[in-house]
Structure 1
Amino acid sequence: MCRWFAYVGHEDCLLEDVLIEPKHAITKQVLDHYLPGLIHHEPGETQSQEQAEEAEIKMRNIMFNIDGFGVAWYSNTRSEFEVGVEGPRAAMYKTVAPIVTDTTFNFICQNTASKCILAHVRAASRPPIVETNNHPFIFGRHSFMHNGGVTFFPEIRHGILQRMKPEIVSQLQGNTDSEHLAGLYFTYLGDTGVAHSIEDMRKALLGAIKTVLEVQNAVLTPEQLKDNGGASSLNLCTSDGQKMLAIRFRNHPTQQPPSLYTSTTAGIALNRKYPGSSLDTDEDVQADDRSAKTHGKHVIVASEPTTFQQSAWTLMAKNELLMVDEHINVKTEIVNISA
């Protein structure tokens, strides 16, 4: 499965501080994994406990994420130069080259700050390995990314396309299940060039998931659907640069979705301006020594914690939806979606 990281808040963060320097940054999750609450990392655990947890978790979390990288970060630059453009817009960088040795990516991260960042390392479920298949996917001012998989996607792809608006279909550039999920979401959201309420974003996201389940039920055979063989893992994230939604979802009565964690405090440890930073940077590059109490409100949602301060992170529940409004107020709910 893929790994992703999302940040939204009232505090600018340096891309280098959240994507490269953390001890468990997303760029280090290509091969390395840290899953507190799923796979125990504390000493003293019995072998049987570890084996019981790892058996299922490894199916949806432990993979080599070497099939591409993408990052979107929001700024107000476009709205400052173009009449009629309001709110932040996403800049984007994608590559299929190894991200840890990508000089361009490093220079971007060293010199770019943003209040909203979405980053994604890909483990492809099927070819081709091309930049157009990398997340996040940008439609207007909105971005979208996914970890998991739509079961039997080749069989239901045509049915999903039929549910999309023609103008959305024409914007699809790749062949992934993830981008088609994005297409469904933006079909239900409406005008992608403007901001929408958090409730409208919620309805569109849940509508996209429901449509996938409906198409699967309509197209797949009873044998394919037997024993929930059609279950899909849909860890989704979308943002307009000010608001953010994320969900950890799998439509199976017992199986867990891939991991997804949240934090409203880790951003302080991921900002070199603040004391107690857990970054790998040297002390002589600390930019400031501000009080942690002055750090702006923020929310981080990530496939894996980017710091090893376990108390700062909370594992999202199965089928939990998290909503962050423009004031960085957070609401969560457990959703029940069926075809």
Structure 2
Amino acid sequence: MCRFLAYRGEPIFLADLVCAPAHSLVHQSLHAVEAKTGTNGDGFGIGWYGERNEPGLYREVRPAWSDENLRSLCDQVRSRLFFAHVRASTGTSTTRSNCHPFTHGRHLFMHNGQIGGYGRIKRRLEALIPDDLYDTRVGTTDSEAIFLLALANGLGADPVAAMARTLKTVRCLMDEAGIDEPFKFTAAFTDGESLFAYRWSCDAKPPTLYFREERGGLLVVSEPIDDKDRGWREVPKGCTLVARAGEAVRVECLNEAMSRLAA
């Protein structure tokens, strides 16, 4: 399982959250405590918004703890909205194109979890991605496939309904293939203004996901970067954390959105 961090708020240096805290994301790449694997050394990536419309992106196959370029970059880059991710592969190769976050236009997406039995539905899942989006697929992960299918389902217009539709589609493919392994999904998505964080699994045991208010904004993490008593709250199971520009943070039920699709 991977570890990730998403921030939206007053502009800060990336290092303040990615590198500096006692249990920072870089520290978690070697010493995660709330994941099945304590080491997340199969590459890393950061995506951030600056003065241009589309985000900057830096991804590398080296472990985050051993990349001096990552620390230097984080010390210099200041951003109001950024993603950071350290990867623990669930079967696909360790390549730069398989590292998170993934980008499409102004959109950023990153994922922790896996589609159980992915190899048995990969072809059918990819066949649902429209050609114009499939042409942008550069890696082989289930995470990127989910992202592209969600974009096809309207992720940019309605991030909760589109992701609910995508998760339901993947689950149906798994049922048709007779797959018993669970589908676990925590993820973060942004259009450069609003931030959405999802926590869901088909076995009601989703990976961990926490949030708190941070410097006038919102911080979302796979596991706390400092003591748990410092305002951290869990994103409820089966829900989406919604932080739209100019609105208070709220929680929407992803399970209910999926149920409405079945009605």
Sort the TM-score into its range (normalised by shorter chain).
over 0.9
Decide which structure has greater strand share. 2
> 1:67, CA displacement in angstroms?
0.3
2:24 aligned residue: 25
2:150 aligned residue: 185
Contact 2:32 2:39 in 1 (8 A): no
- 1:258 has 2:207 as partner: yes
- 1:317 has 2:224 as partner: no
Moved over 6 A (4+): none
Counterpart of 1:138, as a letter, is: T
Partners of 1:203 and 1:320 in 2: how far apart?
12
1:8 aligned residue: 8
1:248 aligned residue: 199
Contact 1:184 1:208 in 2 (8 A): yes
> 1:34, CA displacement in angstroms?
4.4
Q: Deviations over 1:217-265 (max 9, x none)?
A: 22x13xx3xxxx242101011001210111111111xx4111100111x
> 1:309, CA displacement in angstroms?
4.8
- 1:239 has 2:190 as partner: yes
Instruction: Tell me the C-alpha RMSD between the 2 structures.
Output: 1.7
Matched positions, count: 258
> 1:68, CA displacement in angstroms?
0.6
> 1:103, CA displacement in angstroms?
2.2
2:48 aligned residue: 73
Contact 1:299 1:328 in 2 (8 A): no
> 1:328, CA displacement in angstroms?
4.8
Partners of 1:151 and 1:72 in 2: how far apart?
27
Aligned to 2:55, what secondary structure does the other structure show? Answer: strand
2:222 aligned residue: 303
Partners of 2:70 and 2:47 in 1: how far apart?
12
Counterpart of 1:314, as a letter, is: R
Aligned to 1:312, what secondary structure does the other structure show? Answer: coil
> 1:64, CA displacement in angstroms?
1.7
Aligned to 1:30, what secondary structure does the other structure show? Answer: helix
Contact 1:63 1:123 in 2 (8 A): no
TM-score of the aligned structures, taking structure 1 as reference length:
0.72
Contact 2:30 2:65 in 1 (8 A): no
Partners of 2:172 and 2:31 in 1: how far apart?
36
1:81 aligned residue: none
Contact 1:22 1:306 in 2 (8 A): yes
Aligned to 1:206, what secondary structure does the other structure show? Answer: helix
1:158 aligned residue: 123
Q: Deviations over 1:179-202 (max 9, x none)?
A: 101111111127xxxxx45xx122
1:128 aligned residue: 93
Q: Map 1:1-339 onto structure 2 (within 5 A).
A: 1-9=1-9, 11-35=10-34, 61-76=36-51, 78=52, 88-189=53-154, 196-197=156-157, 200-218=158-176, 220-221=177-178, 224=179, 229-252=180-203, 255-264=204-213, 267-268=214-215, 297-336=216-255, 337=258
Partners of 2:147 and 2:183 in 1: how far apart?
15
Say which structure, 1 or 2, has more relative contact order (CA 8 Å, 6+ apart): 1
Partners of 2:151 and 2:174 in 1: how far apart?
20
> 1:105, CA displacement in angstroms?
1.4
Partners of 2:184 and 2:70 in 1: how far apart?
29
Contact 1:12 1:114 in 2 (8 A): yes
Partners of 2:241 and 2:228 in 1: how far apart?
21
Partners of 1:328 and 1:135 in 2: how far apart?
28
Aligned to 1:310, what secondary structure does the other structure show? Answer: coil
> 1:126, CA displacement in angstroms?
1.0
